[in-house]
């Protein structure tokens, strides 16, 4: 069975994503974990890929509305995960300006995000 892991920065992000994606905290095949910050989230996702996790999604705050800064962060994280020799699939989602903004999004945006996490 494939295992799916979504890595995010903090506990609030973890709870919000579990709720929006309708994931049970007790699910054994799909989990959302918090890593304690932006850089630790990147490191944790890299570690999961090195351990042979099937699918890893890294979902972090952009901490900005500036398109260049957002793209720079996305590009950095994609390169970081791509540099890991792993058969596991990987996704990077950078939410502008922060994950909590999803609460105020149109429901279709959240559904699209769920599709973006799918592998």
Instruction: Express each pLDDT in 85-115 by its tens digit.
Output: 988 899 999 988 877 776 666 666 556 655 5
- pLDDT at residue 53, as a whole number: 87
Map out the domains of the chain with their CATH numbers: 4-117 (3.40.1360.10)
Q: Which residue has the tokens 């950095």?
A: 76
Instruction: Express each pLDDT in 30-84 by its tens digit.
Output: 889 999 999 999 999 999 999 998 899 999 999 988 999 999 999 999 999 999 9
Pair 100, 16: CB distance under 8 Å: yes
| Structure confidence at residue 116 as a pLDDT band (50, 70, 90) | low
Question: pTM (2 decimals)?
Answer: 0.82
CA distances from 62 to 27, 42, 75, 82, 95 (A): 28, 13, 12, 19, 5
Contacts of residue 71, Cβ cutoff 8 Å, sequence gap at least 6: none
């Amino acid at each position: 069975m494939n295992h799916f892991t979504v890595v995010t920065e903090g506990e609030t992000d973890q709870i919000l994503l579990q709720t929006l994606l309708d994931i049970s905290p007790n699910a054994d095949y799909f989990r959302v974990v918090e890593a304690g910050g932006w850089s630790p989230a990147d490191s944790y996702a890299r570690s999961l890929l090195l351990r042979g996790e099937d699918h890893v999604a890294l979902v972090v705050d952009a901490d900005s509305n500036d398109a260049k800064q957002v793209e720079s962060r996305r590009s950095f994280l994609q390169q970081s995960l791509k540099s890991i020799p792993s058969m596991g699939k990987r996704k990077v989602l950078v939410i502008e300006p922060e994950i909590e903004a999803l609460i105020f999004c149109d429901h279709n945006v959240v559904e699209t995000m769920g599709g973006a996490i799918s592998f």
